[in-house]
Structure 1
């Protein structure tokens, strides 16, 4: 049994992905006379609303939140809250494994949606997130580690090909990264001068994007496959130019908040060419992320009537907003937006420190609305890249290594796949026993 859920600030189900076992178990708890009259989303929302509300109340009003629940039937429920949205994983795994999966789930949402979780209302983003969750365990390397292929001949040829491709692709931005993935393992990476280094979590997220694309290409490339098969998912970045806006890790928290465009192309089966372009909004993304986090904490303090921490929180919020407005001006954003943020901050501080007609809760909500306008700036237009000729050159350069790389793309074998693995284990055990005695 498995379910991954996202609830918004009013406990409406924004995203839900579950298996048949989960939804059938939910329907057994339903009080509807005819369960078929109620949609699955309504069933899940109604049955889990008390638990989500309890989690919110304990966190907001008492500052005593719980992060997991375990039921008598061995069902595990784990929670996490981010930007007024509650992320939930329900499974029969142990708490540690469920928390690990929840962290991946939340990171995927930040990766594709940035700070605008409401994008999950779109069916396109729901499909995208679903496929990433499915691709999470389809990689060949150890979970949580980015694999690297170290074969010198293929790596040098790929790196030289990427250097040539960077000259052929006309990029509208200065900073970019060109990569070749074999399966989920990185073969070569070429970054333009002055680009921020990609962190290991970035490479893991990009490798999962490549795995999802490879699975899609494998399905549509199969002549026997049915185009109407529900298992064939049309990924949004595999449209006309196989591109989308994603967020990579940045800032002191290392959370995905720096907008980049990603462009994918298939070099050969299980070999993917990826171009990641920095949209020059890193500073805006990081500062807006920090401001959003601080504002969320401030609203919680107001709800708890914890006035002692309010002055320091206001100072931190004002400093983050100052960085946000400076970054917006640097990117030549709308001057009215900067003035709006400054004005809302003055209103918020005044309502928290003096008696005014506006309550702190009202001015905090107005500040939240202003920050939402900043978040809209973090969804820029995707640049159009001409990748046809560079892709042809890559295929020509890598043609002597394709067979070798396809072998590298396959899963590593295990002793469990051989019928004589028990004998091998026994032989190794005997060697260990007698070796220690001598």
Structure 2
């Protein structure tokens, strides 16, 4: 049995992925909740909510009153649960595997959600493509790669080692790809080459943010998952990369990743950063601080609310300044921005009144107004950071063809070398049990 369920702050099910065994288990244990003549396949969010409502409510009470939530618990017949949280969404991982493995899988699920949705987790404004990609990546990771790829156990990225001459040829091809993207008007770009799932090289334009190791592992998992569905992969995907943590604009980088399967097992990934990074970064921080102050309000911690509110006010101010400098235009953006400013001014006045008197009634008013402010924040994020319609996706295969032509003479050699390269994969296979990891 294996599955993942995600609940929003209202305890509604916003995502579910249950394998047949788990769905049948729920059906057998709770058949009275199903309509007449229903089957396990007909399980929906309402039924799941009824089954899990006591657990989720208990989890929220533990979080709000004691700031001490369940991390996991174990049931009969080896069925275990692991819990996680991101931006007010509760992730519940269920399976007949050890708790530590479930926690690893849960961490991957949360990381995938961040990379596929950005700050707009499971929101109505998000495309259904994101949900499909999340399901595809989770299934590929848990059902195939986890058992087949030792690098997935280590969360590592195997690299293909080549000599200087081959490295020069590959980098020359990638630089040509970046130049082609620049001629199309894209100034912040990356190009990466893999051969039979081993990383070979990458190149980036001067204006682009450096990718983090997490981004590289995510792109690898995404490509491996899509390759299982498409033998000749040629697809563009909207993603939100993180960038290196020391960069002030890191955390949420709206990108288009175009994945192209070239000859001889060569995979090219073109990454285009398309949104204003100052806007995306400040709004992303606003989401997290807003969720923090919501938690403090529920816990009734008035002392901690003041500094958190100051941070919220600072990030909202940064967001508005970034939007002003970006000069983003459009009727929808203007309308959404006006609503956002109006909601914020109203909320700011309520907080000022509350900090003067610390009356419970004022806090109730704040709590009732925050959801509408959150909705406007999500709408503004969607309009300003998720619109990639200006990117000419139909031209990206031409860039891939250019790279393929540049490395055609060496692609077969790279493919042969990738089959048996001195990487962590080969070492683990040749010397099983000889690798010891120490964490400090």
Fold similarity call, TM over 0.5: yes
Deviates more, 1:320-329 or 1:244-253: 244-253
Indicate how the Cα distance of structure 1 residues 330 and 185 shifts in structure 2: closer, same or farther if over 3 A, else same.
farther
Indicate how the Cα distance of structure 1 residues 251 and 331 shifts in structure 2: closer, same or farther if over 3 A, else same.
farther
Q: Deviations 1:209-265 (Å, cap 9, x if unpaired)?
A: 2212322332xx6xxxxxxxxxxxxxxxx7xx7222210114859985221111121
Q: Deviations 1:304-352 (Å, cap 9, x if unpaired)?
A: 2221212111111111212222222222244636744651452342342
Check if 1:182 corresponds to 2:179: no
* Greater C-alpha Rg: 1
TM-score, reference length from structure 2: 0.81
Match for 2:399 among 390, 393, 396?
Answer: 390
Whether the 8 Å contact between 2:212 and 2:244 is mirrored in structure 1 is no
Aligned to 1:370: 376
What is the distance in 2 between the residues matched to 1:75 and 1:94?
9
Whether the 8 Å contact between 1:302 and 1:360 is mirrored in structure 2 is no
Whether the 8 Å contact between 2:193 and 2:268 is mirrored in structure 1 is yes
Deviation at 1:202, TM superposition (A): 0.7
Aligned to 1:244: 237
What is the distance in 1 between the residues matched to 2:100 and 2:198?
26
The DSSP-based 3-state class of the residue aligned with 1:242 is strand
Match for 1:360 among 344, 366, 372?
Answer: 366
Check if 1:80 corresponds to 2:84: yes
Aligned to 1:146: 157
Aligned to 1:24: 24
State how many pairs are aligned. 401
Aligned to 1:332: 327
Aligned to 2:133: 128
Aligned to 1:214: 227
The DSSP-based 3-state class of the residue aligned with 2:303 is coil
What is the distance in 1 between the residues matched to 2:83 and 2:295?
17
State the 4+ residue runs in structure 1 displaced beyond 4 angstroms: 119-123, 250-256, 354-358, 408-417
Q: Deviations 1:17-76 (Å, cap 9, x if unpaired)?
A: 222221121112114275626722244332122212211221123322111111132221
Whether the 8 Å contact between 2:275 and 2:386 is mirrored in structure 1 is no
Question: Structure 1: which 5+ runs fail to align?
Answer: 222-237, 429-438
Check if 1:107 corresponds to 2:108: no
Q: Deviations 1:175-229 (Å, cap 9, x if unpaired)?
A: 11011122332212111113211110011111112212322332xx6xxxxxxxx
Indicate how the Cα distance of structure 1 residues 156 and 416 shifts in structure 2: closer, same or farther if over 3 A, else same.
closer
Indicate how the Cα distance of structure 1 residues 414 and 248 shifts in structure 2: closer, same or farther if over 3 A, else same.
closer
Whether the 8 Å contact between 1:83 and 1:292 is mirrored in structure 2 is yes
Aligned to 2:185: 172
The DSSP-based 3-state class of the residue aligned with 2:81 is strand
Whether the 8 Å contact between 2:6 and 2:90 is mirrored in structure 1 is yes
What is the distance in 2 between the residues matched to 1:20 and 1:109?
23
What is the distance in 2 between the residues matched to 1:320 and 1:395?
44
What is the distance in 2 between the residues matched to 1:148 and 1:340?
51
Whether the 8 Å contact between 1:318 and 1:345 is mirrored in structure 2 is no
Indicate how the Cα distance of structure 1 residues 393 and 172 shifts in structure 2: closer, same or farther if over 3 A, else same.
closer
Q: Deviations 1:125-163 (Å, cap 9, x if unpaired)?
A: 322111111333538561211222221243321111111
The DSSP-based 3-state class of the residue aligned with 1:148 is coil
Match for 1:40 among 35, 43, 54?
Answer: 43
What is the distance in 2 between the residues matched to 1:410 and 1:134?
25
Indicate how the Cα distance of structure 1 residues 345 and 411 shifts in structure 2: closer, same or farther if over 3 A, else same.
farther
Aligned to 1:67: 71
Whether the 8 Å contact between 2:241 and 2:251 is mirrored in structure 1 is yes
The DSSP-based 3-state class of the residue aligned with 1:322 is helix
Whether the 8 Å contact between 2:83 and 2:92 is mirrored in structure 1 is yes
What is the distance in 2 between the residues matched to 1:199 and 1:23?
37
Deviates more, 1:344-353 or 1:333-342: 333-342
Question: Structure 2: which 5+ runs fail to align?
Answer: 329-333, 435-440
Deviation at 1:276, TM superposition (A): 0.6
Whether the 8 Å contact between 1:58 and 1:64 is mirrored in structure 2 is yes
Deviation at 1:397, TM superposition (A): 2.4
What is the distance in 1 between the residues matched to 2:66 and 2:254?
35
The DSSP-based 3-state class of the residue aligned with 1:405 is helix
Whether the 8 Å contact between 2:211 and 2:243 is mirrored in structure 1 is no
Deviation at 1:104, TM superposition (A): 0.7
Indicate how the Cα distance of structure 1 residues 312 and 342 shifts in structure 2: closer, same or farther if over 3 A, else same.
same
Q: CA RMSD in A?
A: 3.1
Whether the 8 Å contact between 2:420 and 2:426 is mirrored in structure 1 is no
Check if 1:51 corresponds to 2:46: no
Q: Name the structure with the higher helix share.
A: 2
